[in-house]
A and B are shown apart, each in its own frame.
Chain A
Amino acid sequence: MTDPRFESVAAVREGLRKVDYLSDEGIAGIVYLADRLQKPILVEGPAGTGKTQLAKSVAEMIGARLIRLQCYEGLDEAKALYEWNYKKQLLRIQASGSEGDSWDVVEDDLFSDEFLMERPLLEAIRSEEPVVLLIDEVDRVEVETEALLLEILSDYQVSIPELGTVTAKQIPLVFLTSNNTRELSEALKRRCLFLHVDYPDMEREKEIVLTKVPDITDNLADQVARIVRSLRQLELKKSPSVSETLDWANTLMLLGVEQIDSDTAADTANILLKYQSDIAKAVREFAADKQGARQFAPGPK
């Protein structure tokens, strides 16, 4: 079938680095394995840790087209797999009336490729050129709808009653992401490799900041990464994500900050943290004097 795409784990890591995605052994190893075993990857983890970005970066790395299926409540077959273009079918029937075709001909014609509307899953299967299929936020669909995905995930094929089974011309790399708002079904999990993407450790986060924020100094990036690490150790409602770290670093660059002190940190904490109670807690922890803490304390000022 399809030749393996990657030489080795190190090659995956290097390739991802070239497209500005800094992976670790776990991520690179599992991408490599997914290719070798021809299995989909289920990516799970806190919001803003680069789950979706991973799929995009892998697509960019191997020069494949990215086909994305955004999941939502109420997603159905017609939106995910395929749909018959019934308006066009109606026209065909009407046209046949004037031309006098026999019904058999019309019937054969009606359920042909011409009237089939491809949706992302079918599109990925039928694509000639290499593709990466991203099924985003799969935890948003109902448990029953998950069943739609099972056939494609395990056998890379779609059965259409009127046409038969469509088998993949090439095995796409498949990524599913989940924010873990509900437990996914066993059947789905069993078919996938599981990858938990957590917040990066300090060194990696610093590297990410250095790569993604142009012109940032090593010193500032280091400080940013260290403050964020300390914040994540606090018990917060929502720990800062990588994307928030990057936003913060960008802000600091715009403000022309070269050295972060307590006041700067307190003034810009609202970029990292999204709950007032979290901000108050963080400021209290890091405040130079109690003055600053009071400013952010809840209640009347």
Chain B
Amino acid sequence: MTDTAEPEVHAAGEPLLDLLNGFIVELREAGLPVSLTENLDAMAAIEHIPLEERETFKYALAATLVKNNAHWRSFETVFEVYFSLRGAKYGIDDDSLDPDLADLLDDAENDGAGEGQSGQSGQGGGDALTPEELQQLLYQAMMKGDEALMRAIARQAVKRFAGMEPGRPVGGTYYLYRTLRNLDLDNLLEKMMEQRRQSAEDAGEPMSPLEERLEKDEYEHRVEALKKEIEAEIRRRLVADRGVEAMAKTLRKPLPEDVDFMHASREEMVGLRKALIPLTRRLAVRLARKRRHNRKGPLDFRRTVRASLSYGGVPAEPKFRHPKPHKPEIFVIADISGSVAAFARFTLMLVYAISGQFSKVRSFVFIDGIDEVTSFFEGVEDVTEAVHRVNTEADVVWVDGHSDYGHAFEVFHNKWGKEIGPKTTVIILGDARNNYHASQSWVIKEMQHKARHVYWLNPEPKSYWDTGDSIVGDYGAHCDDVFECRNLRQLERFVEHLT
């Protein structure tokens, strides 16, 4: 990058090392495990990579500080906050903004002139544009995928539409919403697709559905990029206004494995689902390995004799038979009423993803009625789809669609109670909020009598148990164990315990 930027940065504020220290403290606050050696490594690393090479600098810090890819997002957020104002190119400088845009504008105009779309002059810079003109400009930039122009427009849009005022205690999402509302991106996407279709038809080659789909993906990608630009710009301005520490604190988010199932936002849900796949893979490998390396069994005579041949007939290396480990049979009984649905979904997905570790898995879902859903999962490779079917097709409503554990258990006992045997492990998922119906906890007692284990997983924090209409204590008395299971970390620990 530019050499001239260097002195400016050092003049701008505290030395880099102090900044780095604050940065690492914030990472630890956010839950990332950063050890002292890693801290030292990071300090050594930044001596070799200048701050001006932003991307490389970011990766260099990440390489020394973040040793788990799931933590990357948290790292990136903190990085943005701490370093977004560093470096000349990234500072907030409204004066430079307008000529910038004006330059780009001129370029765009010149390009546009060939297509006969030039309407206005760019002499006055960004501020002189009417909103319609800005919109038009954005449209052109997006059609061409011109990143520099998109960035300039994003900054301009934030400046103009977000209505940011220093010291105003409003979250970044509010500003984001205001900016996006003014830009009307959905409409823009529509318009772009329309335009693309039109031009394809004009050329005499209408787009095939595949092409159309690809173009749409491309445009969506660009819109996403624009949104990110806008978000980054808002964040930059907020940091400038409120200072680094305060901003970092408001943006702090839990790591994916610590996200609470019951309160996850839509975005966090997507993150959770993504985190689930590698988790199941890891879990399956670990469990299979544990099984193989388990304690030794009785002497394997045949293999011992064979091994002895390489020692001249002396059985120097005894071989043992590995015991065939017992594979549990699993009954999952899950409450899928609104409040705990997400939790049930995750647990079902997890259990089925590692179903190879169990001899049999049967699943039942209930709200106030109960239904067996095992068949939805049979021969289906895509667990997500099966879970979706569970949510839409299972017959779980008996009277009013409010959780009634007692009735559900009673029906379960009458219909399937006999099938629980000594090899069965029963896992019940739910918050035991029974809407003050009868608990019928004798069913659980029966189960415990017949089954190998009965476990209850409760997605509520322990302090909420047995408050209000929660009667988890009633049921828990008859279970082998009741676990609090609020996030992936706890769920993983339980599954490992299970096998």
Q: Mark A263-297, 1 if CB is under 8 A from B, else 0.
A: 00100000000011100010001111000000000
* CB of B44 within 8 Å of the partner chain: yes
- Interface stretch (choices B33-41, B85-93, B245-253, B442-450): B33-41
Determine whether the beta carbon of A182 is less than 8 Å from that of B41.
no
Contacts A181-B281, A194-B62 given; indicate if A73 touches B48 (C-beta within 8 A): no
Residues of chain B within 8 A of A235, CB atoms compared: 273, 384
B210 engages A33 (CB within 8 Å): no
Pick from A25, A142, A190: contact of B56, CB below 8 A.
A25
Contact (Cβ within 8 A) A262 B63:
no
Cβ-closest chain B residue relative to A34: B63
The answer for the CA separation of A190 and B289 in the assembled complex, in Å, is 25
Say yes or no: is A36 at the interface (Cβ < 8 Å to chain B): yes
Task: Give residues 210-266 of A contacting B (CB, 8 Å).
Answer: 223, 226-227, 229-230, 233, 235, 237, 260-262, 265
Q: Contact partner of A30 among B38, B63, B68, B382, CB < 8 A?
A: B63
A180 in contact with B63 given A190-B38, A276-B381 (CB within 8 Å): no
Judged by a CB distance under 8 angstroms, whether A29 is at the interface is yes
CA distance A44 to B72 in the complex (A): 13
List which B274-306 residues lie within 8 A (CB) of chain A. 278, 281-282, 285-286, 289, 293
- Cβ–Cβ contact A265 & B381, under 8 A: no
Bound-complex Cα distance A29 to B278 (A): 27
How distant is the Cα of A87 from the Cα of B295 in the complex, in angstroms? Answer: 32
Task: Provide the B84-107 mask, 1 if CB < 8 A to any CB of A, else 0.
Answer: 000000000000000000000000
Chain A residues near B213: list those with CB within 8 A: 230, 285-286
Instruction: Say if the beta carbon of A5 comes within 8 Å of chain B.
Output: no
**B49 and A9 form a contact (CB under 8 A):** yes
**Cβ–Cβ contact B48 & A26, under 8 A:** no
A196 CB within 8 Å of chain B? yes
- CB contacts (< 8 Å) of B66 on chain A: these are 194
* B436 at interface by CB-CB < 8 Å: no
Which of A44, A182, A193 touches B285 (beta carbons < 8 Å)?
Answer: A182
Q: Determine how close the nearest CB of chain B comes to the CB of A37; give it in whole angstroms.
A: 6
- Which of A181, A196, A261 has a CB less than 8 Å from the CB of B208? A261
State the CA gap A29–B54 with chains docked (Å).
Answer: 11
CA distance A262 to B57 in the complex (A): 42
Tally A-B pairs: CB < 8 A: 113
A196 touches B72 (CB 8 A): yes
Q: In the complex, are the beta carbons of A73 and B289 less than 8 A apart?
A: yes
- In the assembled complex, the Cα of A126 lies from the Cα of B50 at a distance in Å of 34
Residues of A within 8 Å of B38, CB to CB, are: 190
Q: For the side of the interface on A, what is the size category?
A: 35 or more
Contact of A29 among B33, B41, B60, B68 (CB under 8 A): B60
* B62 & A233 in contact (Cβ 8 Å cutoff): no
Q: Is A32 an interface residue (CB 8 A)?
A: yes
Which of these, A33, A227, A230, contacts B48 with CB under 8 Å?
A: A33
State whether the Cβ of A206 lies closer than 8 Å to any Cβ in chain B. no
- Nearest CB on B from A128, distance (A): 27
Q: What is the CB-to-nearest-CB distance from A235 to chain B, in angstroms, rounded to a whole number?
A: 6
CA distance A260 to B211 in the complex (A): 9
B384 cross-chain contacts in A, Cβ below 8 A: 235
A229 touches B217 (CB 8 A): yes
Q: Are A180 and B381 in contact (CB under 8 A)?
A: no
Bound complex: CA A32 to CA B37 (Å): 20
- Whether, in the assembled complex, B2 has its beta carbon less than 8 Å from a beta carbon of chain A, the answer is no
Task: Give the complex CA separation of A233 and B210 in angstroms.
Answer: 15
B281 contacts which chain A residues (CB < 8 A)?
Answer: 181
Given contacts A37-B44, A39-B41, contact A287 B209 (CB under 8 A): yes
A29 to B56, CA, bound (A): 6
Q: Is the CB of B210 within 8 A of A265?
A: yes
Q: Given A193-B63, A265-B210, A277-B382, does the pair A226, B282 have CB atoms closer than 8 Å? A: no
Chain A residues with CB under 8 A of B72? 196
Q: Point out the residues of chain A lying under 8 angstroms from B33, CB to CB.
A: 186
From A28, A186, A230, A277, residue with most partner B Cβ within 10 Å: A230
| Given contact pairs A194-B62, A288-B208, A32 touches B48 in the complex (Cβ within 8 A) | yes
Using CB atoms, name the residue of chain B closest to A289: B209
User: How far in angstroms is the closest Cβ of chain A from B224?
Assistant: 11
Given A28-B56, A30-B59, the answer on whether A261 and B64 have CB atoms closer than 8 Å is no
- Shortest CB distance B294–A (Å): 13
Cβ-closest chain A residue relative to B47: A36
A10–B67 CA distance with the chains assembled, in angstroms: 25
Tell which of B41, B60, B214 touches A226, judged by Cβ atoms closer than 8 Å: B214
Interface string of A180-200 (1 = CB under 8 A from B): 111100100110111110000
Do the beta carbons of B382 and A281 come within 8 Å of each other? yes
Cα separation A202 to B225 with both chains bound (whole Å): 14
B286 touches which of A45, A182, A190, A195 (Cβ 8 Å): A182
Chain A residues in 8 Å Cβ range of B218: 226
Q: Are A180 and B278 in contact (CB under 8 A)?
A: yes
**Contact: B210 with A25, CB < 8 Å?**
no
Contact of B55 among A26, A33, A189, A277 (CB under 8 A): A26
Residues of B within 8 A of A229 (CB): 217, 221
| Most chain B CB atoms below 10 A, which of A33, A186, A261 | A33
Contact B48–A193 (Cβ < 8 Å): no
Residue of A nearest to B57 (CB): A29
Residue in A9, A25, A181, A190 whose beta carbon sits within 8 Å of that of B37 in the complex: A190
Instruction: Please name the residue on chain A nearest to B281 by beta carbon.
Output: A181
Does B466 belong to the interface (CB within 8 Å)? Answer: no
Residue in B44, B55, B59, B69 with the greatest tally of chain A CB atoms within 10 Å: B59
Query: Which residues of B, 22-37, contact A by the 8 Å Cβ criterion?
Result: 33, 35, 37
A190 to B41, CA, bound (A): 10
At the interface, yes or no: B134 with Cβ under 8 Å from chain A?
Answer: no
A33 to B68, CA, bound (A): 19
Q: Does B53 contact A (CB under 8 A)?
A: yes
B183 interface residue per 8 A CB criterion = no
30 examples of A-B residue contacts, CB within 8 angstroms: A9-B49, A9-B56, A26-B62, A29-B49, A29-B55, A33-B45, A33-B60, A36-B48, A37-B41, A73-B289, A142-B289, A180-B278, A182-B282, A182-B286, A190-B37, A192-B67, A226-B214, A227-B214, A229-B217, A229-B221, A230-B213, A230-B214, A261-B208, A262-B209, A275-B381, A286-B209, A286-B210, A288-B208, A288-B210, A298-B379
Given contacts A26-B56, A36-B48, A277-B382, 14 further A-B pairs with CB under 8 A are A9-B56, A29-B53, A30-B60, A33-B63, A44-B69, A45-B69, A190-B67, A194-B67, A223-B214, A230-B213, A230-B217, A235-B384, A275-B381, A286-B210
Q: Which residues of B contact A (CB under 8 A)?
A: 33, 35, 37-38, 41, 44-45, 48-49, 53, 55-57, 59-60, 62-64, 66-69, 72, 208-210, 213-214, 217-218, 221, 273, 278, 281-282, 285-286, 289, 293, 379-382, 384
Q: A: which residues have CB within 8 A of B?
A: 9, 25-26, 28-30, 32-33, 36-37, 39, 41-42, 44-45, 73, 142, 180-183, 186, 189-190, 192-196, 202, 223, 226-227, 229-230, 233, 235, 237, 260-262, 265, 275-277, 281, 285-288, 298
Pairs of residues from A and B, 5 with the lowest C-beta to C-beta distance, nearest first: A29-B56, A26-B59, A277-B381, A189-B67, A25-B55
